[in-house]
């Protein structure tokens, strides 16, 4: 959504935009309606990728998790009868798929990107990650175009959080971490600028490279699209069934795993528990997360993946939006849709994290520590007691929240990109002039 919003709004800021993406991207779902929002003047280049389809990739991941664990059902997990040792197969697959399965796009990406830069006379390349395999192209572009402005946009911090928290980062051995450190350092060195989406992530990335200039590391946060959200202007009428509807939108994965939340709800008094209805919209990454939610019985509804307009429409009728985050540095994209929707947040979040800081600064809701079952239990007890007085108790900072509108952020990004591109052009002119002056008459 971050890349899509830039593609939507950057052309209004005097930027001629080419987008290089894949024709057959692997994803949990497809929402073609989002393409209708991209201006016609944006040129989209699509290439083939050898990335595996989403279902096959999930099956392969399950096999990798089994392989090397000593379990006899490793081959069964993959549906194979191979006689190869699971540990050997696991290591082979992890080496091939390092740093992520999307690395299969890299050979095509590198060749096509260089061709587009030459043919379209590109001034600046913006590379967004994850997938983190995309940053492996930075050095290739720098060698081909010494004066090209290159911006690396980290939607998630990689080395301090993603390795340990995000379930698709299964290449988290010591060897692969060492390779990742070298890959990131190489990309940072060759990049003109590095953009993070939270101040905590910017500081974390910057701290690893003290030899680089401080102004190389920038902050442009994520946001919400006000045009796609309907902000309530009045207190909703009480539900006929008296239920309190709490809605979660987004993928449930290791960084948002719901075990503590499930335990907290199970410990509620029955008369309170029956007042809540939990609705989860989005893909659930692992069976154990689904099982934790299903233990809540009829009070939970698992809707699965929905196109964005349906997911955002679901926010209109909810009483609270649910936020789960075990990540101290990154802030999930759903947080911004939540604050843009005008709905109060109930959060089980990292107590020292960037999400908690923003939640409090924007007065966007209430929270409890992500691993504290008793505090999470009390959070929902308070929500039940609040009842009809909810809107009287909820006072978000609307002026600060407005700064996170995607169009506003795209304008900030455009200023940054113009500055970087102009600086790169000036440096190239100076270098060429120096070479010309140095040549004999």
Same domain for 33 and 117, yes or no, is yes
Cα dihedral 396, 227, 283, 268 sign: positive
Enclosing domain of residue 288 = 227-401
Same domain for 102 and 248, yes or no, is no
Same domain for 429 and 395, yes or no, is no
pLDDT band at 79 (very low <50, low <70, confident <90, very high): very low
> Which token pair is 144?
């081909």
Same domain for 172 and 119, yes or no, is yes
Same domain for 10 and 139, yes or no, is yes
Q: What is the CATH number of the domain that holds 352?
A: 3.40.50.2000
Residue-wise DSSP of 266-280: HTS-HHHHTTEEEEE
Same domain for 371 and 427, yes or no, is no
Mean pLDDT of the chain: 86
Q: Is residue 344 domain-resident?
A: yes
Same domain for 219 and 273, yes or no, is no
Same domain for 354 and 412, yes or no, is no
Same domain for 211 and 346, yes or no, is no
- How confident is the model at residue 82, as a pLDDT? 47
What residues have CB less than 8 Å from 164, skipping those under 6 apart? 172
Q: Is residue 53 domain-resident?
A: no
pTM score of the predicted model? 0.84
pLDDT band at 60 (very low <50, low <70, confident <90, very high): low
Integer Cα distance of 427 and 190 in angstroms: 15
CB-CB contact of 99 with 129 (8 Å): no
Same domain for 259 and 290, yes or no, is yes
Q: Is residue 316 domain-resident?
A: yes
Q: What is the 3-state secondary structure (H, E, C) of 196-231?
A: ECCHHHHHHHHHCCCCCCHHHEEECCCCECHHHCCC
Of 98 and 71, the one with more pLDDT? 98
Q: Is residue 74 domain-resident?
A: no
Query: What is the side-by-side order of every strand in the sheet holding 124-129?
Result: 124-129, 149-154, 193-196, 217-219
pLDDT digits (tens, 9 = 90+) for 25-47: 777 677 888 888 999 999 999 99
How many structural domains comprise the chain? 2
Conformational region of residue 50, where left means phi above 0, alpha means psi within -120 to 50, and beta covers everything else: alpha
């Amino acid at each position: 959504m971050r890349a899509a919003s830039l593609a939507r709004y950057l052309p209004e800021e005097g930027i001629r935009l080419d987008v290089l993406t894949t024709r057959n991207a692997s994803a949990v779902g497809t929402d073609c309606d989002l393409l209708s929002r991209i201006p016609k003047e944006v040129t989209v280049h699509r290439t083939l990728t050898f990335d595996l389809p989403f279902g096959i990739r999930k099956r392969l991941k399950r096999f990798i998790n089994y392989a090397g664990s000593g379990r006899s059902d490793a081959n069964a997990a993959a549906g194979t009868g191979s006689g190869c040792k699971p540990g050997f197969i696991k290591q082979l697959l992890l080496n091939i798929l390092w740093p992520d399965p999307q690395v299969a796009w890299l050979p095509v990406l590198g060749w096509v990107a260089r061709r587009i830069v030459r043919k379209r006379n590109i001034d600046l390349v913006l590379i967004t990650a994850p997938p983190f395999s995309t940053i492996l192209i930075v050095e290739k572009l720098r060698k081909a175009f010494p004066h090209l402005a290159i911006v690396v946009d980290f939607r998630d911090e990689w080395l301090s959080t993603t390795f340990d928290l995000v379930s698709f980062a299964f290449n988290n051995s010591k060897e692969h971490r060492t390779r990742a450190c070298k890959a990131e350092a190489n990309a940072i060195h060759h990049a003109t600028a590095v953009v993070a989406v939270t101040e905590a992530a910017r500081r974390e990335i910057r701290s690893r490279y003290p030899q680089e200039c401080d102004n190389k590391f920038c902050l442009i946060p994520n946001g919400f699209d006000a045009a796609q959200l309907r902000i309530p202007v009045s207190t909703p009428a009480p539900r006929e069934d008296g239920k309190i509807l709490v809605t979660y939108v987004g993928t449930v994965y290791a960084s948002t795993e719901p075990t503590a939340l499930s335990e907290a709800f199970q410990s509620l008094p029955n008369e309170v528990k029956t007042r809540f209805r939990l609705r989860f919209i989005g893909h659930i990454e692992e069976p154990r997360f689904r099982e934790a939610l299903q233990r809540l019985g009829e009070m939970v509804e698992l809707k699965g993946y929905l196109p964005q307009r349906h997911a955002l429409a679901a926010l209109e009728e909810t009483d609270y939006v649910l936020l789960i985050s075990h990540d101290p540095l990154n802030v999930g994209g759903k947080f911004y849709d939540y604050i843009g929707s005008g709905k109060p947040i109930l959060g089980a979040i990292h107590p020292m994290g960037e999400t908690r800081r923003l939640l409090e600064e924007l007065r966007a809701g209430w929270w409890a520590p992500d691993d504290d079952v008793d505090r999470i239990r009390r959070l929902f007890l308070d929500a039940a007691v609040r009842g009809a007085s909810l809107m009287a108790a909820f006072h978000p900072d609307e002026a600060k929240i407005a700064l996170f509108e995607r169009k506003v952020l795209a304008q900030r990004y455009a200023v940054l990109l113009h500055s970087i591109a102009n600086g790169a052009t000036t440096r190239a002119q100076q270098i060429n002039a120096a070479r010309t002056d140095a040549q004999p008459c």
